[in-house]
Structure 1
Amino acid sequence: MAPQKLAGKVALVTGGGQGVGLGIAQALAAAGAALVITGRDVAKLEAAARDLSPLGTAGVAICAGDVRRRADAEAAVKVALDRFGRLDVLVNNAQSSKPGTLLEDIDDETIALTLESGLLGTIRHMQAAFPHLKERGGSIINLGSREGIYGGAGFGIYAATKEGVRGVSRVAAREWGRYGIRVNVICPAALSPVAIQYLADHPEQAEMYRREIALGRFGDPQADIGPVAVFLASDDSRYVTGQTLNADGGQVML
């Protein structure tokens, strides 16, 4: 990873206190970006900020909140502007879900939780960031999933949410390209806390997933997913928009 590739840029990462979000934040920090990380757990955000500080970042701010609330999306963008004076990169990573439920058994509470935190939270943060990104262009990186592309059993509403994220990302790429805003999707296969717990609870499915990965291992949030986010956040991808990058070791091949 080229050092300081993102020097002078400010990135907002939702769900940046743990897992894939933290791994992406670590990679962005090491590349020179100033960061705002958000999440519901203040203690996790503070711990993440301490972890990020030695990585060469230009600064780290935290913003506790719930991505399901429009006011919290707007507050997170305001923190970036108040602390750093600009916003260049938005990473929509936060997602709540309850995997492992067959489609016929999914209740309204799970539907609401998954859609509100994933698809609607992503849209609200994109809307909050748009007036500021359009001033000088920028990059929006949304998180999809192989479960949406593949249609994994037990992931009905999660798959629908993540495919919705991919759909709205393509629309935004077309509508906002005129402003120099690039919108892309990463579909990762990485060991986040939720993934680790799910795989531990479903060992047979975990082994099936592992066999499907051409490279033979699950990804590391910082070392494997982070560099993909740095690429999409940087000028190296200045002619890439509306695309899905499957950072999954070769699970999904299109």
Structure 2
Amino acid sequence: MNKLQGKVAIITGGASGIGKGMATAFVKEGATVAIIDLNEETGNQTIKKLQEYQPESIFIQANLAEHDKLAGIVKQIADKLGKIDILVNNAHASKMSSIEETTQKEFDLSFNTGFYPTFYFMQAALPYLKETKGNIINFASSAGLNGDVNQVSYAAAKEAIRAVTRVAANEFGPFGINVNLIAPIASSPGMLQWAEENPEYYQGMLSRIPLRRLGELESDIGRVAVFLASEDSSYISGQTIMVDGGATKLR
């Protein structure tokens, strides 16, 4: 298994959940990963496991809402690991609330941790990705595509990410850079906690998934990310890939 042999990948939110699943799938395919996460304890635990496959992999503790530091983090990784082949913008924090109840605080949380880091990391990584003809994987959500209730700030940020991803696919394509999106439904810790707190809503959501299950973090979401980061997807760009068991069918 060496689809990503010799590649260097940045994964935000890589200490747990979907980010950890992708990072694990990447190192098993030969990539060296730099995971960025706010949680230092979890990050240190995860990087030890990843280093069992790729000893040069690193963890950087950072608050992605501190936007002025993001370009420096990209440079730090490139200097440490020699290059950047893959950028995965996965991290995102938000709070559920209805349109009626949503305040500027909720929008600031969602955009400051999701949309703006995605944009600034893409901007900072571009010179390095030009050199490697690399790949960018951003994250969308069915919350934005379907307009899920009580998800207005999250949905808005995710659709903004989709918009800049399509622009980037057009602007970066001439440099040989592929830019795509994954929109998952997965068994992340956040999803499982939400399911426990909202069992009826969760069962309703599950019934609308044709495959009747949540996606596995490494084997489902991680494997699609490996595909989008590898030569196997070299002629795919600007696409939203629904990794959701068939729940959403794009037209």
* Shared fold, TM over 0.5: yes
Residues 89 and 139 of structure 1 are in contact (CA less than 8 Å); yes or no, is this contact kept in structure 2? yes
Residue in 2 that maps onto 1:248:
244
Residue in 2 that maps onto 1:71:
68
Pairing 1:110–2:106 present: yes
Deviates more, 1:78-87 or 1:162-171: 78-87
Pairing 1:137–2:155 present: no
User: Helix, strand or coil: the match of 1:240?
Assistant: coil
Residue in 2 that maps onto 1:231:
227
Q: Percent identity?
A: 39
User: Helix, strand or coil: the match of 1:103?
Assistant: coil
In the alignment, the residues of structure 1 paired with residue 44 and residue 69 of structure 2 have an alpha-carbon distance, to the nearest angstrom, of 18
Residue in 2 that maps onto 1:33:
31
Matches within 5 A, 1:1-254: 3-54=1-52, 56-57=53-54, 59-99=56-96, 101-254=97-250
Q: Which amino acid aligns with 1:179?
A: F
User: Helix, strand or coil: the match of 2:201?
Assistant: helix
Q: Which amino acid aligns with 2:70?
A: A
1:111-137 CA-to-partner distances (Å, cap 9, x unmatched) read 100011111110011011011111221
Q: Which amino acid aligns with 1:126?
A: M
How far off its partner does 1:76 sit?
Answer: 2.6
How far off its partner does 1:71 sit?
Answer: 3.3
Structure 2: where are the runs of 5+ without partners?
Answer: none
User: Helix, strand or coil: the match of 1:78?
Assistant: helix
Residues 67 and 116 of structure 2 are in contact (CA less than 8 Å); yes or no, is this contact kept in structure 1? no
1:60-91 CA-to-partner distances (Å, cap 9, x unmatched) read 11111111223332233123212210000000
How far off its partner does 1:8 sit?
Answer: 0.8
In the alignment, the residues of structure 2 paired with residue 223 and residue 42 of structure 1 have an alpha-carbon distance, to the nearest angstrom, of 25
1:135-176 CA-to-partner distances (Å, cap 9, x unmatched) read 221000001111111111110111111111111000000001
How far off its partner does 1:58 sit?
Answer: 5.5
Residues 61 and 79 of structure 1 are in contact (CA less than 8 Å); yes or no, is this contact kept in structure 2? no
1:193-215 CA-to-partner distances (Å, cap 9, x unmatched) read 21111121111110011001111
In the alignment, the residues of structure 2 paired with residue 157 and residue 4 of structure 1 have an alpha-carbon distance, to the nearest angstrom, of 39
How far off its partner does 1:30 sit?
Answer: 0.7
Q: Which amino acid aligns with 1:36?
A: A
In the alignment, the residues of structure 1 paired with residue 174 and residue 18 of structure 2 have an alpha-carbon distance, to the nearest angstrom, of 30
The count of residues paired between Structure 1 and Structure 2 equals 250
Q: Which amino acid aligns with 1:253?
A: K
User: Helix, strand or coil: the match of 1:134?
Assistant: helix
User: Helix, strand or coil: the match of 2:36?
Assistant: strand
User: Helix, strand or coil: the match of 2:92?
Assistant: coil
Deviates more, 1:63-72 or 1:244-253: 63-72
